[in-house]
Chain A
Amino acid sequence: MQWINAIVQGVLVGGLYALFAAGLSLIFGVMRLVNIAHGDLIVLAAFLALVVMQTLGLGALESLVVVIPLMALLGYVLQRGLLNLTLGSDILPPLLVTFGLSVIIQNGLLQVFTADSRRLNAGALEVATFNLAGIDIGVLPLVMFLAAVAVIGVLQFIFYRTALGRAFRATSDDADVARMMGLDNRHIFGLAMALSLAVVAIAGVFLAVRTNFDPASGPARLIFGFEAVIIGGLGNLWGTLAGGVILGVTQAIGAQINPGWQLLAGHLVFLLVLAFRPTGLFPRIAG
């Protein structure tokens, strides 16, 4: 029973990992940009939620109403003002600029909020559980998992059913031809980053409700998201959800064996996938 319980909890955490991953996967798909500051942006969103909750007196989940648009706006500005300048055939500039951004965000947060670890209070929802066939399921983890499924469903819909999604796919396939067809790539990339950071906002708030966070929490989130992307296969959003769930379950099983092995088990499954299925379990596009 303990084991089944661990697996169920792992699946639910996997939803959160998929949220970390979805934004990363989205911008890689559209503009082949790997954002090293992704994890730090998640933590930035969490701190933003903290400020919003304190100043406006909102609850944790309600703060999303403010945090999502703010992060999306930040994404658009960041892309138009900085990241668009780095795109090109050379992979070095985007990588190093987002790396510099990561250091700036981390130390900026440290300067403003100190190194204290924080947590967002979600009230009664935090401890609510129900019992399903002998397994205690937390309401909050379940809400997070369902939200992750919904977010990925919405992204999938935007990508394959809307004009914006068509523009995303067109620039992804061939940026030059897309421009000849009258698309403004700089604007499209801005919108993609805005969408990515909207997802980051949700991921950040959920992270902050679930566990403690501090300015240095970002890199680990980047790594979990990255592992979920690679395990699931590049360019496949549902695959990314599966990747997140696999990562979550492996970590839960590892922790069940020995608390010190939780993270190690997750990394190990990532390396196994890399060794035996380097394109991931459900690949769609080539790197």
Chain B
Amino acid sequence: MSAVTPDWRVERATATSRLAAVVAIVALIALAAAPAWAGRADMRLLSEIFTYLALACLWNLLAGFAGLVSVGQQAYVGFGGYMLFAFAILLGVNPLLTIPIAGILGALIAVPVAVLIFRLSGAYFAIGTWVMAEVFRLVFAQVSALGGGSGTSLPVAVVKDIAEGRDMREWIVYWAAFLLVVVVLGGTYWLLSTRRGLALAAIRDSEVASESLGVRIWRTKLMIYVVSAGATAMVGALIFLQKLRISPDAAFNVNDWTAYVIFITVIGGIGTIEGPIVGVIVFFLLRETLADLGSIYLMILGLVAIVVMLKAPRGLWGFVQDRFGIELFPVRRRIRYPLD
């Protein structure tokens, strides 16, 4: 006699999520083909959206899932950017190759950093990450080979390493950004569907309860911190490959690489995979319409984030999810019986 097959199974997918997957694939194909239909300015904007989406997704992984609220992710954006310049200018490495190198080195340097700042708990951890970013900024400002405090530009010869023609170069940078955001989003989704993802969700819901069930909290958090640091460094290298110029103040800017990213995630919906996607769309819509207002625009953004945090702490997407029970990237598991 064969073993009794259970009359239930664990599923994550829903009808909506299957539909969402189809829509997502169509959208991905259209975006991959952007060089065929989009102008130069549109592609630049899309690349920027991709990098912000990747950063928001990674910050969300830290704060929304691992409970590690960092206001110092600019440390890794800047670090990645500087690795691009260091390897491309000083060692003659192809700029595209520096992106994975930046990722590996970013992850490596994140280990000792984490060991130190994990000693701070909760909100003090947040400020600790900021101090770290300051340390990174001050150290890179001392490296005269990379322009010291005033920064440096990527030489034309190095830029031509990517591709000879300007069009081809812009396409390659666009595709790199596209590939990176797909990997980051896909990787996050994959990670959250695995055992470790389950552990992460347990930690998010209750540290005490998950620890008593055998989840190794410190190790899981360390892994998430290191992975997201490495990926953030890759995004950083890519951002400065788009800009072609770096300086300590631009590379380690708390507004550009952390404040915006936090606002995107909080407004979209912290702790959900869909949140950063919704947030990045809202953020760029606001920016394209209100950017002329300058500092008032930033005040509005801060105000919106505060109101969302108080009135709908799980953001726009959390609101939709609670209301309609929709999950486009399902990471929650549900038990299905044959009856339904």
Contact = CB atoms under 8 A, between A and B. Distances in A.
- Greatest chain A CB density within 10 A among B121, B126, B259 is at B126
Given A34-B127, A96-B266, A97-B310, A107 B71 contact: no
B77 to A, nearest CB: 17
A222 B294 CA distance: 24
Contact of B310 (A93, A102, A278): A93
Given A219-B254, A271-B116, A264 B139 contact: yes
Interface stretch (A69-77, A146-154, A223-231): A223-231
Interface residues of B, number: 42
A110 B141 CA distance: 26
Given A219-B130, A271-B135, A275-B116, A86 B310 contact: yes
Contacts, number: 120
B305 A263 contact: no
B134 A263 contact: yes
Interface string B112-138: 000011011111101110110011001
B142 A107 contact: no
B122 A287 contact: yes
B182 interface: no
B309 A101 contact: no
Interface in A70-103: 82, 85-86, 90-97, 99-103
Nearest to A103: B302
Contacts of B301: 103
B310 A85 contact: yes
Interface in A234-263: 260, 263
B153 interface: no
Contact residues of B: prevailing secondary structure: helix
Contact residues of A: prevailing secondary structure: helix
Q: How large is the interface on A (under 10, 10 to 19, 20 to 34, 35 or more residues)?
A: 35 or more
B72 to A, nearest CB: 10
Contact of B69 (A32, A33, A92): A92
B123 A94 contact: yes
A93 B127 contact: no
Nearest to A222: B127
B134 A267 contact: yes
Nearest to B138: A264
Nearest to B263: A100
Interface of A: 32-34, 36, 82, 85-86, 90-97, 99-104, 106-108, 110-111, 219, 222-223, 226-227, 230, 260, 263-264, 267-268, 270-271, 274-275, 278, 287
